[in-house]
Each structure stands twice: as structure tokens, then as C-alpha cells.
Amino acid sequence: MPPEAAAALTNFLMAKTCTAPAGTLVRRATGRDAAAIARLYTQLVSNPAVSVLPEVLDTLATKPNAALFVSEAHGQVCGTALVCLCDDVMFQSQPFAVVENVVVDATVRGQGVGRALFQSIEAFCRDSLCSKIMLMSAATRTDAHQFFERVGFAGSVKRGFVKYRRDFAD
């Protein structure tokens, strides 16, 4: 990461919270948020193996190349999204970002919570001098796809592919 990007990222990390629309607060997740994030993930996937460990969240909160954001409304965690920076050699040392595990509680969708998460993600990426932000979404999540397009993502520009661990060659 170029020195100016590292400095900008440090400044961003020092400002741990930002206010967002509808009285929502967006901040980096900590171990205290593990149970709330796990509950949100049940709205995203129905996999009993999902396990959110507090110590992993605490470690992630200290990493300059990734951020797990949570949105709070009325003191309750109601949304989360993970963003990871990837080194890229195509444009010198300018990273790109990958966003994963975006979920907003069904009871507060349409109230600005997701938009606030993505404003924080974009600020993190802008401060990190990212060339682009990419995300993948399950093909069946058409409401989410419409939301992603409303916040500026183009769903027709590229095509994503996934290979799960269970399908890796030996």
C-alpha cells in the first residue's frame, strides 16, 4: 500500500464511527457484536455451521486491509457488511475491494441502513485509494440486486463465479 494510502487509512480507522441517515450509526464491529451479527447472518443463509467468534471480530477490527461494519439503530445492531482490500499489481499498488456478507435486518430495510453501510464502505475504499469495489450476491436475491444498483453498482458489467471449498480438487 502506498504511504499516502496507509496514512489515509490510519486516519479513517482512528475515526471509528460516523452517523448516517435515520439516526443510524455505522461503526466497525467488535467482539461484543458477535451474537447480533450471527443473528443477522441467519437472514442471509440457512446454514447451521455459521459461527461468529468474538475474538475473530476483535482481531479483524485491528486490520488495516479489512473492515466489518455494523449499523446500529436505537442501540441495536441492524445491519452488517464485510469489506476486504486486495492488493493489485495492474495499477501499480492500488488495491481493489471485495464486499461480502451484506445483510440488513428485514424489519428496517428501506430505512437507510444499507445505504449508510455502503457510504462507510465507500469512504473506507476511497481513503484506501481503491480502484473499484466488487461484490457478489446470490442469484435469487433480486431485491438486494436492485438495492446494489440504487447505490451505484452495475450488475451487468461483470459476471461472478464461485467455487466452494467442498468442490476444491484434492
**Percentage of the chain lying above the pLDDT 90 cut:** 78
Reduce the DSSP state of residue 124 to 3 states and report it. helix
* Pair 79, 70: CB distance under 8 Å: yes
> What's the pLDDT at 91?
80
> Does any domain span residue 165?
no
Q: How many domains does the chain have?
A: 1
Q: Which three cell numbers stand for residue 22?
A: 435515520
* Domain enclosing residue 87, as ranges: 3-155
Q: With a cut of 50, say whether residue 100 has pLDDT above it.
A: yes
Higher model confidence: residue 12 or residue 89?
A: 89
State pLDDT tens for residues 119-129: 999 999 999 99
Q: With a cut of 90, say whether residue 145 has pLDDT above it.
A: yes
Q: With a cut of 60, say whether residue 146 has pLDDT above it.
A: yes
> Does any domain span residue 168?
no
> Does any domain span residue 11?
yes
Tell me, what CATH number does 77's domain have? 3.40.630.30
> What's the pLDDT at 80?
98
Q: Which three cell numbers stand for residue 71?
A: 449499523
> Does any domain span residue 161?
no
Considering only CA atoms, give the Rg of the chain: 16
* Pair 27, 15: CB distance under 8 Å: no
Mean pLDDT over all residues of the chain?
88
Q: With a cut of 80, say whether residue 49 has pLDDT above it.
A: yes
Reduce the DSSP state of residue 102 to 3 states and report it. strand
